[in-house]
Structure 1
Amino acid sequence: MPTVGVKRDLLFKALGRTYTDEEFDELCFEFGLELDEITSEKEIISREQGDSKASGASDIILYKIDVPANRYDLLCLEGLVRGLQVFKNKLEAPRYRRVSPISGEPQKLIITKATAAVRPHAVAAVLRNITFTQERYDSFIELQEKLHQNICRKRSLVAIGTHDLDTISGPFTYTAKPPGDICFKPLNQTKEYTATQLMSLYKTDSHLRHYLHIIEDKPVYPVIYDSNGIVLSMPPIINGDHSKISLKTKNVFIECTATDVTKAKIVLDMMVTMFSEYCSQPFTKEKLTSEFINRKVGINESTEKIAQLLTRMCLRSQATGVGDEIEVEIPPTRSDVIHACDIMEDAAIAYGFNNITRTTPRTYTVANQFPLNKLTELLRQDLAAAGFTEALNFALCSQEDIADKLGKKISETKAAHISNPKTAEFQVARTTLLPGLLKTIAANRKMPLPLKLFEISDVVLKDETKGRHSTFFPGRCAEIFVRGKSVGRLGVLHPDVINRFELTMPCSALEMDIEPFL
């Protein structure tokens, strides 16, 4: 689960009240989160006093909160506060909308065919009239990094670039060029480099060197230009210094380049909706019934009550008036909602898991431990109590381990052979535990004596007495009997049979004589 670190005082200010640590921990639990850790750190304070400056250090309290891996809308302070406020009925779930520029045409990002060879997809949006404070700016950058590490899979699937729109001009072009043909001044550098030089420069960079492998071996590198030929970024590595954002930035151009267009859209939605009331795409709607939620969660609430519960989870809902049907709006912040069961889960969170009455399942079985497992557990306890150390070895081994090294011939071992072993160490299934234990001792022979080891586990022996049908895979076929008479066979076809018919995939078959059923 991702962990979000937020300053306690900023969090409480945004929530409009203060909580004790215990109260906030309980709030997190109710909302499906976990207050993982409470820490403190020094914050440098600088303030002007007349013509002089006074500075000092102050302790700030940090809340580190675990959020579900699929809730990308909770990865920053803004989204976390918004979700909690809606959950506590102190804020109405926002409705995002797409708007057009007051003057001029919408910005365009033109994607050329050259990108297909390296990173084929790109989406973009503009945040207008943003007022950044230091805290909001830090949160904006932190959300970008959280998304990079989470859904973006360390930039391999999606890379986010943010730019000061007032320093560049559209339309923008996303293309790909040989690294020697790309030249620009990267972020926080003082001179221009070619892409080839940048790859060498960043090999020792503690942060960027982890992303070089994504495009390093490609014949062309992705790059984004504005209409004047200014380089915005070379994704997924580095942005250009010319268009970097700052506290004074008012209009932000956000571009997401990707190998997965669906995830690119999700990431763009998160960046836009967390810091603007605008949205890059309309809502989607889904319908379900209150009976479905009541049955799955184990509660008995009215259609209107369930609609209220879902609205508390930022899923605007209302009864349609047609039976117990509920219409649910899925905002772009909730990309994790892909099935009715996801909506049902949110209803259960809003209702409160502790408030659900415990019931015995309608269908259940009384579990009982398998006798063999019970015996082996007892043996493990007794051997461990006698001073032996348990070993856990691989079930596959080499032919030499179970034959030559034990003074046997491989044909005498009844071993099950792997048809295409990847290594010499995994050629057959073990027929005895002894080789594994002896190899463990050999690997630990420098340890003080005595070495007392034991292992209780499975071995595999091929049963030569079982009849087989040459059409089917050995051990994976069955004969069908009706009133004591064989009427057919079913099973997995033998690989040789599949190859003879020039098939490339495993195949199962059933052949049966139906005349005896007349």
Structure 2
Amino acid sequence: MQSSDITLHVDPSVKTVRPYVVTALVKNVTMTDELIASLMDLQEKLHFGLGRNRKKVAIGVHNFEPVLPPFTYKAVEPDAVQFIPLQKTEYMTLREILTRHEKGIDYAHILEGHELYPLIVDKNNNVLSFPPIINGSLTEVTPYTTEIFIDVTGTDPYAINYALNIVTTALAERGSQLYSTTVIDGDHITLTPNLEPHRQSLTVSYVNKILGTNLSSAEIQSCLEKMGYVISLTNKETLV
């Protein structure tokens, strides 16, 4: 993975609405109708499972070409901003999107009780995303898209990082080039995606209890290695 000079600034206004965000840039994308469909399917599976139907995690995939960094993640009043959302041809306020757009109607409940709504904009205040509801039509991905900007917002920092890693590595497996981006949240500066491996221990008894099996440590190790994990045995009971 290479580094980029792309930054996203987190405004304090969004902290009480949807506080966490991570981003990535992907270049050299060979986009096809099949890949677009595959990306959309992966998004929705992550939204439903990991994302608790977008409440915990929401993913935005954008054509990078029409926008200009640095980006800002902020919260605004429902009628303060208008943009053309995906699948529409007219400008709508955030309030109108929640009552008139199909996705807005489906997911408006996530923002119930909030006076401000989250928004991701570029240097010129072009709207990329109204998370967790809908992206702007400006950054719609097409078969001609070669560079993709990804945002993942949510309420769980671990979950959003995990979702970003899944989407970016799926694209990397197709030959695309990943670039890290910088998220600036006050004094906290983070490079994302973070693909550094981490260590985790697992006991044989726990595996057999969960799976209802009677596997040996060697059998468990073999299964995990087939999944791509690097495994070592600290003793007969514990794998790392």
Tell me the TM-score normalised to structure 1 length.
Answer: 0.39
> More strand per residue: 1 or 2?
2
The DSSP-based 3-state class of the residue aligned with 2:194 is: coil
Is the counterpart of residue 160 in structure 1 residue 76 in structure 2?
A: no
1:115–1:314 Cα change, 3 Å: same
1:288–1:222 Cα change, 3 Å: closer
Deviations 1:413-472 (A, max 9, x none): xxxxxxxxxxxxxxxxxxxxxxxxxxxxxxxxxxxxxxxxxxxxxxxxxxxxxxxxxxxx
Structure 1 residue 213: Cα displacement: 2.0
Which one has the largest radius of gyration?
A: 1
Is the counterpart of residue 99 in structure 1 residue 2 in structure 2?
A: yes
Structure 1 residue 283: Cα displacement: 0.7
1:214–1:286 Cα change, 3 Å: closer
Is the counterpart of residue 313 in structure 1 residue 234 in structure 2?
A: no
In structure 2, runs of 5+ residues without a counterpart are 179-192
**1:99 aligned partner, one-letter code:** Q
- Let me know the Cα RMSD of the aligned residues: 2.6
Structure 1 residue aligned with 2:43: 144
Q: Is the 8 A contact 1:287 1:325 kept in 2?
A: no
Structure 2 counterparts to residues 88-127 of structure 1, below 5 A: 98-101=1-4, 105=5, 107-127=6-26
Aligned residues: 219
Is the counterpart of residue 273 in structure 1 residue 153 in structure 2?
A: no
Structure 2 counterparts to residues 14-413 of structure 1, below 5 A: 98-101=1-4, 105=5, 107-202=6-101, 205=102, 207-277=103-173, 280-287=194-201, 297-300=213-216, 302=218, 306-318=220-232, 328=240
Q: Distance in 2 between matches of 1:295 and 1:186?
A: 49
Structure 1 residue 267: Cα displacement: 1.6
Q: Distance in 2 between matches of 1:200 and 1:295?
A: 49
**1:282 aligned partner, one-letter code:** E
**2:51 aligned partner, one-letter code:** C
1:301–1:108 Cα change, 3 Å: closer
The DSSP-based 3-state class of the residue aligned with 2:225 is: helix
1:260–1:323 Cα change, 3 Å: closer
Q: Distance in 2 between matches of 1:245 and 1:216?
A: 29
Structure 1 residue 189: Cα displacement: 2.1
Structure 1 residue 298: Cα displacement: 2.8
Structure 2 residue aligned with 1:34: none
Q: Distance in 2 between matches of 1:119 and 1:301?
A: 42
Q: Distance in 2 between matches of 1:150 and 1:306?
A: 26
Structure 1 residue 293: Cα displacement: 8.0
Deviations 1:76-113 (A, max 9, x none): xxxxxxxxxxxxxxxxxxxxxx4324xxx2x2111111
Q: Is the 8 A contact 1:132 1:248 kept in 2?
A: yes
The DSSP-based 3-state class of the residue aligned with 1:110 is: strand
Q: Distance in 2 between matches of 1:200 and 1:301?
A: 55
Q: Distance in 1 between matches of 2:78 and 2:15?
A: 16
Q: Distance in 2 between matches of 1:153 and 1:164?
A: 26
Structure 2 residue aligned with 1:25: none
Q: Distance in 2 between matches of 1:210 and 1:288?
A: 40
Q: Distance in 1 between matches of 2:231 and 2:114?
A: 48
Deviations 1:177-222 (A, max 9, x none): 11121111211322322223323322xx3x4411012225421111
Structure 1 residue 164: Cα displacement: 0.8
Q: Is the 8 A contact 2:217 2:239 kept in 1?
A: no
1:217–1:318 Cα change, 3 Å: closer
Structure 1 residue aligned with 2:189: none
Structure 1 residue 312: Cα displacement: 0.7
Q: Distance in 1 between matches of 2:57 and 2:215?
A: 41
The DSSP-based 3-state class of the residue aligned with 2:196 is: coil
Structure 1 residue 139: Cα displacement: 0.8
Q: Distance in 1 between matches of 2:207 and 2:165?
A: 31
The DSSP-based 3-state class of the residue aligned with 1:310 is: helix
Q: Distance in 1 between matches of 2:167 and 2:11?
A: 24
Tell me the TM-score normalised to structure 2 length.
Answer: 0.80
**2:2 aligned partner, one-letter code:** V
Structure 1 residue 174: Cα displacement: 0.2
**1:225 aligned partner, one-letter code:** V
The DSSP-based 3-state class of the residue aligned with 2:15 is: helix
Q: Is the 8 A contact 1:117 1:220 kept in 2?
A: no
In structure 1, runs of 5+ residues without a counterpart are 1-97, 329-518
**2:223 aligned partner, one-letter code:** L
The DSSP-based 3-state class of the residue aligned with 1:100 is: strand
Q: Is the 8 A contact 1:199 1:216 kept in 2?
A: no
Structure 1 residue 273: Cα displacement: 2.0
Structure 2 residue aligned with 1:61: none
